[in-house]
Amino acid sequence: MLLLIFHPVQVIPVIQTMKESHEGAGRLDFLLVIEAILRHKTITRASQALQVSQSALSHTLTRLRKRFGDELFVRVGSEMQPTPLVLRLSEPIARSLNIIREEVLSTSEFEPKTTTRVFKLCVGEVGAFILVPRIARLLRERAPHAQLSMPDTPQPDIAAALEDGRLDVAIGYFPHLKTSIYQQRLFSRTLVGIVREGHPQVGARLTLKQLKSIHLVRAPSTSAINRWFERHLNGDPRLQIAMETPYVMALAPIIAETDWMGLISEELVPSFRKLAAVRAVTLPAELPRIDVRQHWHRRVKEDSANRFIRQLIYDALHEE
């Protein structure tokens, strides 16, 4: 970004450095020179504030006088007093330096303790119920002013949302995401069956025959397991579907009032038992364990804020 201040004769770029004399070892930004002399009133104190030699500062002031065609500062007693031109320029100079300090230099590092950033996470219903409270608890400790948002993002849109910044991180089982998305395993889970307490046909373990005949309530989060079941049955009749619902948390009261079965993540069982009179049953085949991962776009791989939330999610959720 190029900021400009206007002189009666010429336009002077604000971000411009003036070479020091042979006694100096670097370059002095003329905005800082004018600011320092205005503030400290003497060449000695201004050079100390800028951590340069007096001769380097005097040399730069001489060059600025020639460049502006104005004395800029004149000695009155023991102090350097600004000319009317410097007084006119003092406010835009201060404003320009504030922009550089606050909006350019301050963005180089992410500060968890002071940030008010809203982190946008993609999680499913089960994740919102089980995982997000653990993330929120740790976020409150590490970044007390930050916030969480969980935009409703359909699975086909997740990759694009990560790419364009509508999402910071997606947490779940998303095997379809493309190679531009980085990922990190957090933990693995399997699913279990749930039936109502006192189910007349199902004991502690479901038989293969019962599996082929029992009616299921299916939710989108169990679709991968449902497909695995259909392959496992190897040509036998497909699973009997009594109902499909997008609401995983609705399974508990539905199952409690029917002789149907649902499939849920094993960690939901204690919560479901508090919601309704249901119990877990062992399935007749060994279910595959599904890896739950966090995903982010390679564009933000080195972004300090994104690194922060990824590390926080990992610390909150990771299991061996």
Examine residue 113 and state whether it is found in any structural domain, yes or no.
Answer: no
Residues 6+ apart with CB under 8 A from 49: 36, 39, 40
In a domain, 52, yes or no: yes
| Whether residue 289 has pLDDT greater than 60 | yes
- What does the pLDDT look like over 154-198, one tens digit per residue? 888 999 999 988 999 999 988 888 778 999 999 998 888 899 999
What b/e readout covers 296-307, taking b as 16+ CB neighbours within 10 angstroms?
A: bbeebeeeebbe
The pLDDT of residue 3 is above 50: no
pLDDT class for 65, splitting at 50, 70, 90?
Answer: very high
- More confident site: 301 or 219: 301
Considering the domain architecture, whether residues 25 and 87 belong to the same structural domain is answered as yes
Determine contact, residues 151/161, Cβ cutoff 8 Å: yes
Residue 35 lies in a domain: yes
Cβ–Cβ < 8 Å for 244, 218:
yes
Kindly state whether residues 72 and 165 are assigned to the same domain.
no
- Over its C-alpha atoms, the chain yields an Rg (Å, rounded) of 33
Stretch among 49-63, 100-114, 155-169 having the lowest mean pLDDT: 100-114
Mean pLDDT over 135-162 rounds to 94
User: Does residue 87 sit in the same domain as residue 178?
Assistant: no
pLDDT tens figures, 13-30: 333 333 333 333 334 478
**Could you give the CA distance from residue 132 to residue 126 in angstroms, rounded to a whole number?**
9
Report d(CA 56, CA 147) in Å as an integer.
48
Domain count, the chain: 3
16-20, 89-93, 107-111, 126-130 — which is least confidently predicted? 16-20
- Residue 151's pLDDT is 93
Domain co-membership, 298 together with 275: no
Domain boundary among 108, 136, 168: 108
| CATH code for the domain in which residue 31 is found | 1.10.10.10
Domain boundary among 90, 108, 126: 108
16 and 101 housed in the same domain: yes
Residue 228 has pLDDT above 80, yes or no: no
**Is 279 domain-assigned?**
yes
Instruction: Check residue 220 and give its pLDDT.
Output: 67
My answer on whether 160 and 307 are in the same domain is yes
Q: Is residue 53 part of a domain?
A: yes
The answer to whether residues 73 and 12 belong to one domain is yes
* Residue 142 maps to a domain: yes
3-state secondary structure of 181: strand
Mean pLDDT across the stretch 127-147? 95
Instruction: Provide the pairing of β-strand 73-76 with 79-82.
Output: antiparallel
Q: What is the DSSP secondary structure assignment for residue 205, as one 8-state letter? A: B
One domain, residues 77 and 38: yes
| 86 in Cβ contact with 38 (< 8 Å) | yes
Rounded CA separation 211/238 (Å):
10
Residue-number span of the structural domain to which 86 is assigned: 4-108
Same domain assignment for residues 253 and 281: yes
Tell me the CATH number at 253. 3.40.190.10
Predicted confidence at residue 16, as pLDDT, reads 34
Mean pLDDT of the chain: 82
Q: What's the predicted TM-score (pTM) here?
A: 0.61
| Residue 311 within any structural domain of the chain | yes
280 and 229 assigned to the same domain: yes
Give me the residue label for tokens 């201040």: 5
Domain shared by 46 and 172, yes or no: no
Burial 65-84 (b: 16+ CB within 10 A, else e): eeebebebbeeeeeebebee
Identify the bridge partners of residue 243 per DSSP, sorted by sequence position: 217
Structure confidence at residue 254 (pLDDT) = 95
Question: What per-residue confidence (pLDDT) applies to 247?
Answer: 86
Kindly state whether residues 159 and 303 are assigned to the same domain: yes
Q: What is the pLDDT of residues 263-288, one digit of tens each?
A: 888 888 998 999 999 999 988 766 77
Q: Of the candidates 108, 134, 169, which is a domain's last residue?
A: 108
* pLDDT reported for residue 23: 36
